Amino acid sequence: MAKFISTIDKALSALCVTLSVFLVICVVWQVFSRYVLNQPSTYTDEIARFLFIWVGLIGAAYALGQKKHLAIDLLLTKLESSPKKQNFLNLLINIISLFFIILIMCYGGGKLVLDTMSAGQISPVLGIQMGWVYFAIPLSGAFMLIYLLRDISKELTH
C-alpha cells in the first residue's frame, strides 16, 4: 500500500508541476501578446483558465495526501491531553470528508462530466468537450478517496 501511495504522490506532484509550468507560460504569453504585440491571444486565455481548474483540483488532492491542506485544529489542540480522543476526532473528520468526497466530487463530478459530454457542450475558443475540463473534479475526488481510505485505516489501527 505504501508503494502505491508513493507512486500516486510522485504522479500527482509531477502533474501539478507540469500543469503549473504550462499555466505560467500561457499567462506570460497572454500578457506579452496583449501589451507588447497589441493582439491578445484568445487561445492562451482559455487554456490558462482550464489549467487553473486542473492545478487547483489536482493540487488539492496532493495536499490532502501530504496532510498539507487547510485545517482548523482547534478541537484537536483542546484534546491535546487525550490521544484516544484525538484519534477518534481524526477518524470522525476523515469519515465526514469521505462522505463529502464520494457524494460531491466522485458522484456529482462524474454526473457533471457525463451530462456535459452528452449535451455536447464545447469550449468557445478551443472547441474541446467541456466534460474533459470538468473531469478534474471526479479525478481529484478519486485520489482524495484513496488518501482518505489510507488515513482511516491508519486511524483504525491506532
User: What pLDDT tens digit does each residue of the chain (158 aa) get?
Assistant: 889 999 999 999 999 999 999 999 999 999 999 999 989 888 999 999 999 999 999 999 999 999 888 776 776 777 666 778 778 888 888 999 999 999 999 999 999 999 999 999 999 999 999 999 999 999 999 999 999 999 999 888 87
DSSP element (H, E) containing 46: helix 42-65
Distance between CA atoms of 59 and 20, rounded to whole angstroms?
10
CA–CA distances in Å: residue 146 to residues 76, 143, 150, 157: 23, 5, 6, 17
Cβ–Cβ < 8 Å for 96, 13: no
Residue 40: per-residue pLDDT: 87
Q: What is the pLDDT of residue 11?
A: 96
Q: pTM for this structure? A: 0.88
- At residue 81, the pLDDT reads 67
In whole angstroms, give the CA distance from residue 95 to residue 148: 8
